[in-house]
Structure 1
Amino acid sequence: MNYFAVLYRYAPDSELIATVRPRHREFLGSLKEEGKLVGSGPYTDGDGGALIVLRLPEPAGVEDAASLMNNDPFLKEGALDGREIRAWNPVLNIFDGQ
């Protein structure tokens, strides 16, 4: 399996984020059911943004993760200020077998 860190940037007080959040969470729920979502959630430091960790079968790359995340309502509705997707290696991996 290959892992990817998806970093979202958005203002903590974004009304558009609040409006789109239910559809975003439905989308993430579908990824969880498919076994592709390891975890997700907003940063709690008051600066906004969120982290999503994906697990995709080999030989998936960043392009595959981006293609998948292009379906997120946050992106489709233009609610994000930025997005970064990076391949990630969980050296101490507690995610196997989930």
Structure 2
Amino acid sequence: MICVELSFTNDRARLAARPAHRERLRALHEQGALLLAGPWEDDSGALLVFTVDRARVDRIMAEDPYYSTSGVDVVSLRVWCPILKPEHG
């Protein structure tokens, strides 16, 4: 899994780009490429957990202008190796 942590400001460009970004996230979730995504409670940033490899995450981020929009900074992008996870029937 790949975890992406974002940091936000209240830049108008970010707020304008957010609806389209969230639609992309919904589609990725439906495809199984994105496990979890959401903002911190104070809206200072967000965490996304992808189920695909690093190359695919890089493509996803390159195709979504939100990640390079003013007011959005990628704080970290790390491979995560959970030892406990939900069982799938």
TM-score (norm 1): 0.75
Shift of 1:7: 0.7
Aligned: 1:10 with 2:2: no
- Could you list the runs of 5+ residues in structure 2 that have no partner in the other structure? none
Q: Deviations over 1:59-90 (max 9, x none)?
A: x3x33322222222312544413342110012
More helix by share: 2
Q: Deviations over 1:35-65 (max 9, x none)?
A: 1110100011x36110000001xxx3x3332
Q: How many residues align?
A: 89
8 Å contact kept, 1:23–1:73: no
- Could you list the runs of 5+ residues in structure 1 that have no partner in the other structure? none
Where in structure 1 do 4 or more consecutive aligned residues deviate above 3 Å? 76-79
Query: How is 1:35-74 mapped onto 2 (pairs within 5 angstroms)?
Result: 35-44=32-41, 46=42, 48-56=44-52, 60=53, 62-74=54-66
Residue of structure 1 equivalent to 2:26: 29
Change (3 A) 1:47 1:20: closer
Percent of pairs with identical residues? 29
RMSD: 2.1
8 Å contact kept, 1:17–1:74: yes
